[in-house]
Structure 1
């Protein structure tokens, strides 16, 4: 497979999404009477999914058809303008900024569709067919979302996300077409790893936000150290797998990587929010217990699925490994449910889980 390197423009493009990810994570910090209200959990998902899909759309185009041509640079720079519009419109009070958000999102998706349609005139054979298929289908999704401008109240959002869902599902339904022009697995893994690194950075920011500089505040210092070890363990497990344990020569549509990372990225935001909420003691014990363990379970399942398919045969985990990981996590959860323990103990348990997870998946 042709070697494809991540360009500096792609890295610059990623930086714009740092603010978007931070905004989505901040939604989870809205606590009412000791709970994150279900409305905020829903808003988190509704904000996060368009961010992920907008970034994914451009990344997948570059992966299959990207070359350092002048017109592709211009397209990407124009997309950055729409990214800025979309990010500036992300808010818990979505109604107030809806139209500017819609302009940003539709602009991004429309430009991606146009890029594919441009490429169909420059390609031949299967590559031409795939470019036409994706350009037309993504155009349909963007048009459906655009129709939301003619509606009010909840109907507006239903139409918007119906278009987004169509956008997301159509590549899955078109698998038989996309498999003719396989993705560059090495480039795709590198791109998602870089975005994942941004969310690990968000977790570190959460630690810095709760670290108190007062003299003798050993609880804060210890909590921060344990949190940092937890994040380092997660980082070690993820990036050692990407670097050493997966076969980057495997060819396919890359859909396991793409859709699996939606849940990896969302769970990382949830874990980052959990760190801050546990330190600040703003949520009920039972709620945070379900929330943080649910976030870790989601991360574990998503990373296991993504990496299992691409692992070298000799490095693939056995069923008893799955039992060990799930058993460890379940044991900690049940113990904490039976008797109330300090949040710093919960952080220690999760840190131990990720150390075990890293140990067995990277050696």
Structure 2
């Protein structure tokens, strides 16, 4: 497979999405009567999905057809402007900013579809078919989402997300083309790893910003230290696998990486939010438990699934590994339900789990 390196413009493009992801994460910090109401979880998901899919759309184009040409740079820069508009429109009070959000999102997706139509003129064979397929089919979801502007209330959002869902399903429908012109696995893994790294960094910065341990407050200092070790352990496990344990020469459509990372990235945001809530101690103990253990379990399961297909055969995890990891999480969870423990102990348990997870999956 042809070697493809990440460009500086791609990394710059990733940074623009940091504010968008941070805004989505902050939705999970709306605490009322000791818990986060279900509507905020729903809003978090509904905000996160367009962010993720907008980033994925351009990433997939660059992965197959990206070249450091002037016209492609200009397309990417214009997309960054639409990202800024979309990000500035993200809010839990979505109705007030709906038009500007829709303008930003539609602008992003339309530019991506146009890029496919432009590049198909220069391609041949299966690659030309892929470009034609995406360049025409992506407009279906875009047009459906545009019709949402004609309606109000829940109908508006139903139409918007119907269009987004259709957009997301397009690569599945075009799988017969994609397998003949596979994605560049090495570049795709690096691109998703770069966005994941930004989320890890955002977790560190936002966590330390909220904690702000005062001089002599050893409980806060200990909590900060354990939180940092937790994030480092997660980083170690993820990037050691990306760097050494996966076969980057595998030729696939890349859909496991693409769709699996939606849940990896969402779980990272949820873990960052749960760390803040554990420290602030503003939610009920039982809610804390379900939230952080659920977030960690989601991250563990999705990273396991995503990397399994691409691991070298001798490095693939066995069934007893899965039983062991789930057993550790289940044991901690049950013990904490029976005996109420300080929040710093819960953080210590999560850190121990990720240290074990990193050790057994990277050696």
| TM norm. shorter chain > 0.5 | yes
Unaligned runs of 5+ in 2: none
Question: Secondary structure at the residue paired with 2:5?
Answer: coil
Q: Partners of 1:61 and 1:212 in 2: how far apart?
A: 41
Q: What is aligned with 1:77?
A: 77
For the 8 Å contact 2:211–2:276, the answer to whether it is kept is: no
Q: Partners of 1:206 and 1:85 in 2: how far apart?
A: 23
Question: Secondary structure at the residue paired with 1:176?
Answer: helix
Question: Secondary structure at the residue paired with 1:180?
Answer: coil
Question: Secondary structure at the residue paired with 1:36?
Answer: coil
Q: Partners of 1:269 and 1:300 in 2: how far apart?
A: 14
Q: What is aligned with 1:326?
A: 326
The two structures, once aligned, show a CA RMSD in angstroms of 0.7
> Is the counterpart of residue 68 in structure 1 residue 64 in structure 2?
no
Q: Report deviation, 1:173.
A: 2.1
**Aligned residue runs from structure 1 range 117-136, under 5 A:** 117-136=117-136
Q: What is aligned with 2:144?
A: 144
Question: Secondary structure at the residue paired with 2:196?
Answer: helix
Q: Partners of 1:18 and 1:341 in 2: how far apart?
A: 34
Q: Partners of 1:352 and 1:168 in 2: how far apart?
A: 36
Question: Secondary structure at the residue paired with 2:171?
Answer: helix
Unaligned runs of 5+ in 1: none
Q: Partners of 2:73 and 2:223 in 1: how far apart?
A: 45
Q: What is aligned with 2:10?
A: 10
Q: Partners of 1:338 and 1:137 in 2: how far apart?
A: 53
Q: What is aligned with 2:223?
A: 223
> Is the counterpart of residue 237 in structure 1 residue 237 in structure 2?
yes
Q: What is aligned with 2:159?
A: 159
**Aligned residue runs from structure 1 range 1-363, under 5 A:** 1-363=1-363
Q: Partners of 1:118 and 1:205 in 2: how far apart?
A: 40
For the 8 Å contact 2:34–2:284, the answer to whether it is kept is: yes
Q: Report deviation, 1:214.
A: 2.3
Q: Report deviation, 1:11.
A: 0.7
The structure 1 segments of at least 4 consecutive aligned residues displaced by more than 4 Å after TM superposition are none
Q: Report deviation, 1:175.
A: 1.0
For the 8 Å contact 1:210–1:220, the answer to whether it is kept is: no
Q: Partners of 1:318 and 1:51 in 2: how far apart?
A: 34
Question: Secondary structure at the residue paired with 1:265?
Answer: helix
Q: Partners of 2:69 and 2:206 in 1: how far apart?
A: 39
Q: Report deviation, 1:213.
A: 4.0
Q: Report deviation, 1:127.
A: 0.8
Q: Which deviations, in whole Å up to 9, do the C-alpha atoms of 1:232-253 show, x marking residues without a partner? A: 0000000000000000000010
Q: Report deviation, 1:212.
A: 3.2
Q: Partners of 2:101 and 2:318 in 1: how far apart?
A: 45
Question: Secondary structure at the residue paired with 2:29?
Answer: coil
TM-score using structure 2 length: 0.99
TM-score using structure 1 length: 0.99
Question: Secondary structure at the residue paired with 1:67?
Answer: coil
For the 8 Å contact 2:142–2:163, the answer to whether it is kept is: yes
Q: Partners of 1:241 and 1:213 in 2: how far apart?
A: 33
Q: Partners of 1:39 and 1:198 in 2: how far apart?
A: 27
Q: Report deviation, 1:211.
A: 2.9
Q: Partners of 2:214 and 2:329 in 1: how far apart?
A: 34
Question: How many corresponding residue pairs?
Answer: 363
